[in-house]
Structure 1
């Protein structure tokens, strides 16, 4: 079997979750730096080695979707801007946090306001529908910009969250309440969550906090 397709070969011969194995192969190949053409060639070769002819549409779609989303996530980490939403990228937010710690500013005077989109009964949670999900994130970001319109950094965090790096001043609570009111009136399929995260004492812990929020 081609490299990274061993699990798919086993799934084909055993009749287990073939589409899941295709998705895992797509993710692994994207992390390895394989091109989409290489991924598709490996999929075809695996199908033929298993004596199943050519791969069906559903298998190709599962592989390409997983490869595309993994590659897109990697590009988001490199860029200062999220290309789908127009918000700052998570990598840019991370660099802004590092700058605060490096300059020796009092991080207790800053906070991270987090907007979390609903999960579950949401068409954008379907595999491959990252464009619908991005539009939902973009809408939340636009509302955040109407309230946090100064020098705050408004960034996409992971797949379902927006983070706003701002000063923890006497009007922060009022601004968050205004944003909550705007979000309550947005056309989403479920309730959005909104809260204030205090910044930890070290840059390393701040990075861990971002990673944890991105996984949520």
Structure 2
């Protein structure tokens, strides 16, 4: 029977002759691929293994296993317990869970700088695009409802850029990000625009100036080790395209 054996063609219980005696023996070693013990247990107990297949698929993805490796482990498990290839439904459940977990990991990596915990430039760009897409004629335009508050950590007082200490710089950038989150705790995105800059997409309301002054005081308390930090309000342009160009300029500076 092929790897996509029809679920309905399998008997409700596997014939005893197809089961590995050591697996059926209480206390016996499962001897199955790591992470697929639950699948084996479900097959041995004649229960529905789909939930176990989903769990195994997620675990394999999070462990960094490829889809080929994951499918091979499923087939090995099925062969050892049932002496046949896995059913289509089991394969589908496994692959769907593996794909979902993999996409979740990729999305997390692309949205967040792993060293600082700040959102990536791509995520800031996506958030801005969403803001422009949601704008409807007659409504408040994004340039009137929001602004970027930028914190810049350019060159130190001795003319260097601090590039020789990337870990130290990342820690200082993370500290600047925390200062932004303290002043704007409900902000949708606090992101790193480049090596030297952090920004928050803030609401443009009556308290914007007060919050920026508070942020400047907090930034002054950050140990920037000789670096001059600057804070300013960057107004949003009229269009989504122009906002992308603006972010590019801020990232390059």
Q: TM-score range by the shorter chain?
A: 0.5 to 0.7
Per-residue CA deviations over 1:21-74 (Å, capped at 9, x if unaligned) read xxxxxxxxxxxxxxxxxxxxxxxxxxxxxxxxxxxxxxxxxxxxxxxxxxxxxx
Whether the 8 Å CA contact 2:152–2:231 is kept in 1: the answer is yes
C-alpha separation between the residues in 2 aligned to 1:126 and 1:161? 14
Q: Tell me: CA distance 1:145–1:122, structure 2 relative to 1, closer, same or farther (3 Å).
A: farther
C-alpha separation between the residues in 2 aligned to 1:147 and 1:132? 23
Match of 1:97 in 2: 128
Match of 2:228 in 1: 191
C-alpha separation between the residues in 1 aligned to 2:127 and 2:146? 12
**How many residues in Structure 1 have an aligned counterpart in Structure 2?**
140
Q: Give RMSD over aligned pairs.
A: 2.1
Whether the 8 Å CA contact 1:118–1:191 is kept in 2: the answer is yes
Whether the 8 Å CA contact 2:172–2:222 is kept in 1: the answer is no
- What's the secondary structure of 1:79's corresponding residue? helix
- What's the secondary structure of 1:87's corresponding residue? coil
Deviating above 6 A after TM superposition, structure 1's stretches of 4 or more consecutive aligned residues are none
- What's the secondary structure of 2:223's corresponding residue? coil
C-alpha separation between the residues in 1 aligned to 2:129 and 2:167? 30
**CA positional deviation for 1:130:** 2.5
Whether the 8 Å CA contact 1:114–1:163 is kept in 2: the answer is yes
- What's the secondary structure of 2:222's corresponding residue? coil
Match of 1:145 in 2: 181
C-alpha separation between the residues in 1 aligned to 2:187 and 2:154? 27
Q: Return the index of the structure with the highest Cα Rg.
A: 2
Match of 2:216 in 1: 180
C-alpha separation between the residues in 1 aligned to 2:121 and 2:148? 13
C-alpha separation between the residues in 1 aligned to 2:120 and 2:167? 16
Whether the 8 Å CA contact 1:184–1:191 is kept in 2: the answer is no
Between Structure 1 and Structure 2, the one with more helix by share is 1
Gaps of 5+ in 1: 1-74
Match of 1:44 in 2: none
Match of 1:212 in 2: 249
Instruction: Give 1:164's match in structure 2, choosing from 200, 207, 211.
Output: 200
Q: Tell me: CA distance 1:151–1:126, structure 2 relative to 1, closer, same or farther (3 Å).
A: closer
Gaps of 5+ in 2: 1-105
